[in-house]
Structure 1
Amino acid sequence: MNTSPPLVAALSISVLLLSACASPAGSPAPAASPHREPSPSVREQASASTRLAVTHEDGLTVLDAATLESLAEIPMEGFLRLSDAGDGRHLAVSGAGGFRMLDTGSWSEKHGDHAHHYTAEPVLTGGLLEAGKPGHVVAGAGRTAFFDDASGQVNLVEAGRLGARELGAGQVQLPEAHHGVAVPIDGDSLIVSLGTADGRTGAAVLDGTGDEILRSDECPGLHGEAGAAGAIVFGCDDGMLVYRDGSFRKVASPDGYGRMGNQAGSPASPVVLADYKTDPGATLERPETVALVDTAAGGLRLVNLGTSYTFRSLGRGAAGEAVVLGTDGALHVIDPVSGTVVSRIQAIDPWEEPADWQQPRPALHIADGTAYVTDPVGSRVLAVDLGSGEVVRTAALAAVPNEISSPRESGPAQ
């Protein structure tokens, strides 16, 4: 844990309006929003609903999470990635040219001691954040950070503007381009990765004016981030970097090289689930061990699953349980405190990880106590009740699925 020496470099912050692409007619939104136009497709519902988005080679499919009914097919070209935008309604779609906003068409509005729930047709809003290499998207403290790996520029968008046709964004320019990440925290502060095109070394906290107030250089190969109860973490080649209570702390791997490049956190638990790789020379390592890092106590526990998994295999249940989709086709449900595998739920047939990371492989996404598993071989998606351990719904898809996600509201500021 290190306090800050001089500034990261000449960081600059500027605020400007980014022009958006033309938006499809009839883009749905609540009439009360100052940034949207009312749509005749908006309907008030009796209860809140969740919608899933799935990427494939032809674009996006939006599903009703309760029924797995297909609600919309949205054509888009190229390899697409999905990220939660943090407002409970939108997903960021990364593709050629930058980040676009997918309005999943389901949201709630608080009204005193209750909320009103709405649905509308899912659409791309037309809002665009240009990026040469669109990378990580992270929401927190009422803002969403979009990282451009090609320039090292971070665009910050207020949560209330994610559905706007013109995205008003503040910009933070980091000293050098790298495959990085930025996390908004309270007080208009920001945690950013430190690095160059040759690699990452750690993270720094910037205040609202861009001045560096804290840093740690103890995270070689920094990759990814996750939020836990009271903490934010970053994966390192030799463990995990934890930001908690205003300071950095390193939790070291038991191996000299013990990479935790992908993480899954939960607001219900201080423990973070991460993958765990030990071979720095591997072209494609297929690990069978996962890591559980206690961000409060600083402890680390390794759990051997007896099966391999991939970066799309990690998830967290509603009570904070750790869930891993193995190449044996099963969901391995782990108690995050004891590290005990408490159940094994067979979901799909055994499978093998493809050599190219962009190629479809089964993916796990958990929402509202249900685990959604994609099956590229069968071009389908399955809904698994984590409580009962039963596959409760299965739906055929029109194309081979790749990524799957649903919107959430970002947690409390750190």
Structure 2
Amino acid sequence: MRSRVVALTIAVLAVGLTACVGTPPTAPSSGASATDDDHGDRVGATELTEPPLGLTMIDEAGTVTHLDLWDESIASLGTIAPPRGIASDGRYVFAETATGIEIVDSGVWTWDHVDHFHYYRASPEILGTVAGHGPAVVATTNQSTSGSTGIFFEGSGEAVLLDTEALSRGELSERFRLEVAPHDGLVVPVGSFAVVTEAGPDGRVDRVAGYADDGAPEGIQVACPDARGTITTRVGAVIGCRDAALLAEVTDGELTLTRIPYPPGTTAAPAESFHNREGRPTAAALAGESGANGIWLLDTRAQAWTLLPSPEPLVTVTAVDDDADTVLALTTEGRLIVLDGTDGAVRARTEPLVAASVADSGAHAPPIVADAQRAYVSGPREQKLFEIDFADDARIARTFDTAAPFQFTAGTGR
């Protein structure tokens, strides 16, 4: 295969990326802007014919950079305070810093109408900081122009619900800020509602409660011991509990919470961190440290768990949820492996790509960012970012060399 080398530079950024090996998909072209706000359009945005896929990256100092995966251009989005961790909904990057959650708008997003999609590009910007103390957990939905985003500050016990529609206009607006007993908790948006964890006398989560998005209690409480981990799927929002997962949905205008218990007799450790290709119904999680007990798959449509074997020690896993039931995992050796989601069989694996980054990652293992065709794995210590065609024997489609270590990477434009 012929190699192609493209130098990517931007004058205001002291960072260079070099792309090599492979060819990107056809670039999206601009189309007519939508006029219906219900289709995700915003003033100043341009509607595109294809998703503006990109990777928004932040280094340890807080420099924010966006890589456009269509034309391989990069742009500096500015600088934030040094981040401790990030979360993303596919448009915004929520970075935990010493003073709270700092929010970056990547300026690219997809509006999901279930049977079709709309794609947009606008000017990126750094929106500001939601103040709070202690470690923070962010819970997002799959829409970046409507609904809410939840932030729970463990140190102060503050549950904050942000207005995501206001974020899409460049405004930071809190729908509510509840003060509860400090604990390692969650506030999970669900339509026009939110689910907030509550701690028992020992300071550990033992239940969740439902609220309207103005902070009014809904009178709903459900047991959820040791709540840990959340994700929004095509079906609803998931909250992991020690003995089950809770599926939160809005049915006929009312908040409903359904328990999905683990299979009877299971001894595997519960799921604590869920990952998937955005908007799909199935989520994956490691069962035990390094997946010692296997890989949990939660099908929110069937409301059922599946436990797959771990082929080797793992650091993270994600469900692609495609026609081939694909699951992707990153091993402790820094390899990406492609698994069959029905039986856990290994279909393909790469050579070790990010071994040094995995060894040095601590609590922040390199994430797997997956779309319908490709997976992306960033190695800050190797100063490389890999694009992997997981359906083609885990072929390395493109490699981007970075002149600076990007500690955090989020897929945006999805």
* Bucket of the pairwise TM-score, normalised by the shorter protein: 0.7 to 0.9
The answer to whether structure 1 residue 383 and structure 2 residue 393 are counterparts is no
Mapped partners of 1:307, 1:243: distance in 2: 30
Secondary structure of 1:264's counterpart equals coil
Secondary structure of 1:261's counterpart equals coil
Tell me if the contact between 2:282 and 2:321 (Cα under 8 Å) persists in the aligned partners. Answer: no
Mapped partners of 1:381, 1:350: distance in 2: 9
Mapped partners of 2:379, 2:360: distance in 1: 17
What is the one-letter code of the residue matched to 1:215? Q
Tell me if the contact between 1:136 and 1:181 (Cα under 8 Å) persists in the aligned partners. Answer: yes
Q: Which residue of 1 aligns with 2:91?
A: 89
Residues 26-65 of structure 1 correspond to what in structure 2 (within 5 A)?
47-59=50-62, 60-65=64-69
Tell me if the contact between 1:364 and 1:404 (Cα under 8 Å) persists in the aligned partners. Answer: no
TM-superposition CA deviations, 1:243-270 (whole Å, max 9, x none): 2562331423645571311112467754
Q: Which residue of 1 aligns with 2:188?
A: 183
How much identity, in percent, do the aligned residues show? 19
The answer to whether structure 1 residue 154 and structure 2 residue 159 are counterparts is yes
Measure how far apart 1:298 and its partner are: 5.0
Mapped partners of 1:294, 1:120: distance in 2: 34
User: Which stretch has the larger CA shift, 145-154 or 157-166?
Assistant: 157-166
User: Which stretch has the larger CA shift, 340-349 or 384-393?
Assistant: 340-349
Mapped partners of 1:119, 1:270: distance in 2: 26
Q: Which residue of 2 aligns with 1:21?
A: none
Measure how far apart 1:229 and its partner are: 4.0
Q: Which residue of 2 aligns with 1:247?
A: 257
Relative to structure 1, is the Cα distance of residues 239 and 115 closer, same or farther in structure 2, using a 3 angstrom cutoff? closer
Measure how far apart 1:170 and its partner are: 1.4
Structure 1 unmatched runs, 5+: 1-29, 279-284, 410-414
Measure how far apart 1:381 and its partner are: 0.4
Mapped partners of 2:402, 2:330: distance in 1: 20
Mapped partners of 2:287, 2:188: distance in 1: 23
Mapped partners of 1:268, 1:95: distance in 2: 27
Measure how far apart 1:275 and its partner are: 1.0
Tell me if the contact between 2:139 and 2:188 (Cα under 8 Å) persists in the aligned partners. Answer: yes
Q: Which residue of 2 aligns with 1:11?
A: none
Give the superposed CA RMSD.
3.7
Residue in structure 2 matching 1:363, options 362, 367, 375? 367
Residues 192-341 of structure 1 correspond to what in structure 2 (within 5 A)?
192-195=196-199, 198-208=203-213, 210-220=216-226, 222-236=227-241, 238-243=242-247, 246-252=256-262, 254-255=265-266, 258-265=269-276, 270-277=281-288, 287=292, 289-310=294-315, 313-317=316-320, 319=322, 321-336=326-341, 338-341=342-345
Tell me if the contact between 1:138 and 1:144 (Cα under 8 Å) persists in the aligned partners. Answer: yes
Mapped partners of 1:321, 1:356: distance in 2: 25
Measure how far apart 1:153 and its partner are: 2.0
Q: TM-score, normalised by structure 2?
A: 0.73
Relative to structure 1, is the Cα distance of residues 369 and 201 closer, same or farther in structure 2, using a 3 angstrom cutoff? farther
Structure 2 unmatched runs, 5+: 1-32, 250-255
Q: Which residue of 1 aligns with 2:348?
A: 344
Residue in structure 2 matching 1:74, options 69, 78, 87? 78
TM-superposition CA deviations, 1:52-102 (whole Å, max 9, x none): 1122212222211235443226333423422224xx532222212112221
TM-superposition CA deviations, 1:75-134 (whole Å, max 9, x none): 33423422224xx53222221211222121324689xx9988654554313x32111135
Secondary structure of 1:401's counterpart equals coil
Mapped partners of 1:193, 1:408: distance in 2: 30
TM-superposition CA deviations, 1:23-43 (whole Å, max 9, x none): xxxxxxx9x99xxx988xx77
Q: Which residue of 2 aligns with 1:282?
A: none
Q: Which residue of 2 aligns with 1:128?
A: 129
Q: TM-score, normalised by structure 1?
A: 0.73
Mapped partners of 1:268, 1:156: distance in 2: 21
User: Which stretch has the larger CA shift, 299-308 or 262-271?
Assistant: 262-271
The answer to whether structure 1 residue 144 and structure 2 residue 146 are counterparts is no
TM-superposition CA deviations, 1:205-261 (whole Å, max 9, x none): 2245522432222433x111123342432223x443222562331423645571311
Mapped partners of 1:131, 1:155: distance in 2: 9
Relative to structure 1, is the Cα distance of residues 48 and 218 closer, same or farther in structure 2, using a 3 angstrom cutoff? closer
Tell me if the contact between 2:53 and 2:413 (Cα under 8 Å) persists in the aligned partners. Answer: no
Tell me if the contact between 1:154 and 1:182 (Cα under 8 Å) persists in the aligned partners. Answer: yes
Mapped partners of 2:300, 2:54: distance in 1: 31
Relative to structure 1, is the Cα distance of residues 347 and 232 closer, same or farther in structure 2, using a 3 angstrom cutoff? farther
Measure how far apart 1:185 and its partner are: 1.5
Tell me if the contact between 1:348 and 1:375 (Cα under 8 Å) persists in the aligned partners. Answer: no
Mapped partners of 1:74, 1:354: distance in 2: 29
Tell me if the contact between 1:380 and 1:397 (Cα under 8 Å) persists in the aligned partners. Answer: yes
Tell me if the contact between 1:100 and 1:129 (Cα under 8 Å) persists in the aligned partners. Answer: yes
Residue in structure 2 matching 1:99, options 93, 98, 101? 101
